[in-house]
Amino acid sequence: MKENGLMVSQRRQKAKRVAKRSKPRADRPRQYWGIDMTKFMVPSVGWVYLVIVVDWFTKKTVGWNLSLRSRAAKWKQALEMAIEREFREGVRGNRLCLISDNGSQPTSTSFMGDMATLGIKQVFTSNGNGETQKGDEDHQGGGYMDK
């Protein structure tokens, strides 16, 4: 059939991968912070978890926590460090938005309760939205949870 020109050419269409909502853009420091965790192996210790808080405007690491356990309390400690450094007068009333994935730590009742108490608005990335998570990953210098 191919030799006689009877084959129909197939068009392959690529699936469009478009975020459901656009990525927030910070126009000032201390407006949007991203928080995420990565883990890495230390041969003499085992898995070590690093939580990083990044200001999306300045791209500066404003808080972090290094731990042997992956717990919401460690995320809170990283955020507390960032707040103490960047909001000496207190975070309430400054309209800070904290962007994270839908992991168990940032969606835990205790973490979400603390964010509400502090007046921090939580924004969660869309499931499978690698572009939104890319900002934090680029800053961390690695892949998302696989390094």
Which is higher by pLDDT, 64 or 136?
Answer: 64
Q: What's the mean per-residue pLDDT of the chain? A: 85
The whole-angstrom separation of Cα 137 and Cα 50 is 12
Report which of 33, 41, 27, 22 is spatially closest to residue 139, judged by C-alpha positions.
33
Does the pTM of the predicted model rise above 0.85?
Answer: no
HSE-CB at 143 with a 13 A cutoff on CA atoms is 4
Cα angle for residues 115, 71, 33 (degrees, 5° grid): 40
- Given a contact cutoff of 8 angstroms between Cβ atoms, the answer to whether 122 and 100 are in contact is yes
What is the per-residue pLDDT for 143? 42
The whole-angstrom separation of Cα 146 and Cα 86 is 30
Domains of the chain (ranges plus CATH)? 32-140 (3.30.420.10)
